[in-house]
Amino acid sequence: MTIPKYDELMYPLLSLYNDDKTHNYKEFSSQIIQKLKLSEDIVNVKIKSGQSQFINNLYWANTYLFNAEFLNRESRGNYTITQRGKEVLKKTTFIDKKFILSSYPELKAQNFWKVNAKSDVDTLVVDNLVISDVPPEQRIETEIQKLEINTKNEILSTLKEIEPRKFEFLVIKLLEKLGYGVGEVTQYSKDGGIDGVVKGDTLGFEKIYIQAKRYKENNVQLSEIKHFIASINNNDKGLFITTSDFTSSIYTYLSKRNEKVVLINGQELVNLMFRLNLGVSMSYQYEVKNIDTDFFELLDK
């Protein structure tokens, strides 16, 4: 089951308004969830702002019902059904943009709604800008996700090209950024299979031994993990981190042993760096503003 799109919510939402009372669309969320038999997992899916995607879609369903004059705004966030809205409920059991345009062509004449004939996808036109069928917050989130994926791919490509020694220093910085104590990269001639050491606590009672493998293509082999484990003391912790990945035999081997070793592959490393702002910088920042209806309502107060 997928999250219902806003046009799939328009008819059930308008039906609930059909009691001649004033409502806020959020009042109906639990009833619609029940009616559509939506699971808790579906309802709890969040968009990047932290809002429920279901509630966000419900908001846009309410907005389009108002734009089509099926609802009347009584006060901020509060609506009642109009005569046009009541008539619509008698005509159909599904409302979308095409239905609205075919039933009320004056909206098209006003250039408020527009159907893209080539793609057969409804679009909204505001100030001559064609806006797709997906609510704005979700479009923004989708584009941001694309940018994030591109940036993460660039990070991974860069990691695979840097000098192995620099990669070891990067891993130390990563652990320090994660809140561990001061770390150091070991000398090549004396590392004994250990590339770095980080204090596991502020005073240094615990140590975390690090093996960092900057590989372009090859995955880490089981023999390398065994050699790393043999290089650290039984009571110490180990972190094996690579720009590539680990063979399945490694996970099987560690699952049967009580080794204090954590594995981080290239994708996990990139995700950590991205989250911690390590190796990335802020490029753009946007503000999204909503109308403050209270301001207008209280102008004469």
Do 85 and 171 lie in one domain? The reply is no
Residue 109 has pLDDT above 70, yes or no: no
Do 269 and 183 lie in one domain? The reply is yes
- What does DSSP say about strands 237-242 and 261-264: parallel, antiparallel, or unpaired? parallel
- Quick check: is 291 in a domain? no
Q: What is the mean pLDDT of residues 209-217?
A: 91
Comparing CA positions, the residue from 241, 238, 281, 245 lying closest to residue 261 is 238
- Give the lowest-confidence range in 22-31, 238-247, 253-262, 272-281: 253-262
Do 90 and 158 lie in one domain? The reply is no
Task: Give the separation between CA 47 and CA 53, rounded to whole angstroms.
Answer: 6
- Give one word for 246, left, alpha or beta, with left for phi > 0 and alpha for psi -120 to 50: beta
Comparing CA positions, the residue from 223, 263, 222, 261 lying closest to residue 243 is 263
Do 84 and 158 lie in one domain? The reply is no
Q: Are 58 and 25 in contact (CB under 8 A)?
A: yes
- Quick check: is 263 in a domain? yes
Residue 38 has pLDDT above 80, yes or no: yes
Q: Are 244 and 213 in contact (CB under 8 A)?
A: yes
User: Given 54, 74, 95, which residue is the final one in a domain?
Assistant: 95
Tokens of 58: 């419900």
Task: Give the separation between CA 172 and CA 183, rounded to whole angstroms.
Answer: 6
User: Given 95, 116, 137, which residue is the final one in a domain?
Assistant: 95
Per-residue pLDDT at 252 = 92
How remote is the C-alpha of 277 from its chain's centroid? 17
| Average pLDDT over all residues of the chain | 83
Residue 191 has pLDDT above 60, yes or no: no
CA distances 135 to 6, 58, 72, 101, 132, Å, are: 8, 10, 21, 19, 8
Q: What is the mean pLDDT of residues 181-202?
A: 73
Give me the number of domains the chain comprises: 2
Q: Are 26 and 79 in contact (CB under 8 A)?
A: no
- Give the lowest-confidence range in 164-173, 175-184, 247-256: 175-184
Per-residue pLDDT at 192 = 56
- Within 10 Å of residue 218's Cβ, how many Cβ atoms? 11
- Quick check: is 208 in a domain? yes
Tokens of 136: 């704005």
Q: Which CATH number is 211's domain given?
A: 3.40.1350.10
Q: What is the CA radius of gyration of the chain?
A: 28
User: Given 95, 114, 134, which residue is the final one in a domain?
Assistant: 95
Q: What is the mean pLDDT of residues 278-284?
A: 86
- Quick check: is 29 in a domain? yes
Give the domain range for residue 244.
Answer: 154-275
Comparing CA positions, the residue from 197, 171, 147, 164 lying closest to residue 279 is 171
Residue with tokens 């000098």: 163
Do 167 and 268 lie in one domain? The reply is yes
Do 265 and 162 lie in one domain? The reply is yes
- Quick check: is 199 in a domain? yes
Task: Give the separation between CA 169 and CA 186, rounded to whole angstroms.
Answer: 10
- Quick check: is 212 in a domain? yes
Do 159 and 270 lie in one domain? The reply is yes
Do 161 and 259 lie in one domain? The reply is yes
Q: Which CATH number is 18's domain given?
A: 1.10.10.10
Do 269 and 161 lie in one domain? The reply is yes
- Quick check: is 287 in a domain? no
- Quick check: is 285 in a domain? no
Residue 204 has pLDDT above 70, yes or no: no
Q: What is the mean pLDDT of residues 18-35?
A: 91
